[in-house]
Amino acid sequence: MLYQKTGRERQMILIESKDNPRYKALLALKKARQAKKEQLMILEGPRPLMDLAAAGRLPRTLIFSQDDKGDRAARELLGPGGVFEGKMDPDQLIRLPAHLFRQASAHKTDQGVMALIHLPVRDLGDWLDRKLQDQDPCRILILESVQDPGNVGSLIRTADALGWQAVILMGDSASIYNPKTLAASMGSLLHMALFEVQGPVESLLEDLKARGIKLLGAALGGQALEEDWAYDKKLALMLGNEGKGLSDQALAAADGLLAIPMQGGVQSLNVAAAGAILLWEAIRNL
């Protein structure tokens, strides 16, 4: 044992059976559909949880592995000076044997702690109504059928880092409730306005244009980046599927199509790399 347990930690609930209802409910959250239904996500690792606390939020449940890694994480989070010291009830604290913890983790190498956090489903129309009332820039990243959760998470993190306000997922994009999306975003899911939109692509894009938002799409046949392309205060950048790019409907709705000039015989970039360049260009030209 790495440190003296507090009274609350000694009262942690120990779950030792894979048939325990709470453990089975935890495993079910690894499926995006169930996580979205419950509006719960699994957040792993001490650092993302410290970021959660810094944002003034508490997890629904903290789950520690019954080993040295779990002890270390409990010390950092619950011990003297820990970000959750005295803030969690005993029934919100769970211990799992290492083998059960590994089965619940989305990482190849777990960090000894995971948490259940509330991630509500948000209404895009309400958010746009509020956001467009002010005169501040409204920058939205739209991902159409970007299927790799690693790419989706990376793009969400890049958009967050560069000050974009929202990310919209449409088509067959990987869900924000996919544990791998959360892992790749490294916690940025907690900071961004995120929306999963079902239904025809045309309906969403027509609504955005009716609100005065300029639509720009990334396409191999687009025009090279220009100095003034990003000056619109209301802007949505559309990125398409890893293999096929944007759909015909999205291309037709775009006010302009952009391409990144490339050299050295390279014809295209990974969607996360291309997106990072375009997202930066927009912010650089503010």
Tens-digit pLDDT profile for residues 135-157? 788 999 999 999 999 999 999 99
> CA 75 to CA 13: how far, in whole Å?
17
Residue with the two structure tokens 């199509």: 257
Q: Position of tokens 């775009």?
A: 254
Between 1-10, 71-80, 147-156, 239-248, the lowest mean confidence (pLDDT) is in: 1-10
Q: Which of 146, 150, 139, 161 is nearest to 230 (CA)?
A: 139
Q: Give 168-196 as a DSSP string.
A: EEETTPPPTTSHHHHHHHTTGGGTSEEEE
Q: Given this structure, which CATH class describes domain 124-284?
A: alpha beta
Average pLDDT over residues 258-278: 86
Joined together, the tokens standing for residue 193 give 């306005």
A 10 A CB-CB count for 241 gives 18
Task: Enumerate the domain spans of the chain.
Answer: 7-118, 124-284
Whole-number percent of the chain with pLDDT over 70: 93
d(C-alpha 226, C-alpha 135), whole Å: 24
pLDDT in tens, 52-93: 998 889 999 999 999 999 999 999 999 999 999 999 999 999
Q: What is the pTM (predicted TM-score) of this model? A: 0.87
Mean local confidence (pLDDT), 43-51: 90
Residue 41's pLDDT band, with cuts at 50, 70 and 90, is: very high
* Two tokens, residue 237: 């950048």
Q: Is 34 helix (H, G, I), strand (E, B) or coil?
A: helix
Q: Tell me which H or E stretch contains 144.
A: strand 138-144
The answer to whether residue 163 scores a pLDDT higher than 90 is yes
Q: Which of 111-120, 183-192, 227-236 has the lowest mean pLDDT?
A: 227-236
Mean pLDDT in residue range 251-264? 87
Judge whether 197 and 233 are in contact, CB under 8 Å: no
Cβ atoms 78, 113 nearer than 8 A: no
d(CA 273, CA 262): 13
CATH of domain 7-118: 3.30.1330.30
Q: Which pLDDT belongs to residue 3?
A: 40
Helix (H, G, I), strand (E, B) or coil at 147: coil
Q: What does the alpha-carbon distance between residue 207 and residue 202 come to, in Å, rounded to a whole number?
A: 8
Going by C-alpha positions, the residue among 150, 61, 8, 155 that lies closest to residue 52 is: 61
Which residue would you say has higher pLDDT here, 281 or 160?
A: 160
pLDDT of 262 > 70? The answer is: yes
Q: What is the DSSP letter of 241?
A: B
Angle at 158 between CA 157 and CA 160, to 5 degrees: 65
| Beta strand extents in 35-112 (DSSP E only) | 40-44, 61-65, 93-96
pLDDT band at 5 (very low <50, low <70, confident <90, very high): low
Mean pLDDT of the chain: 90
Q: Is the pLDDT of residue 15 over 90?
A: yes
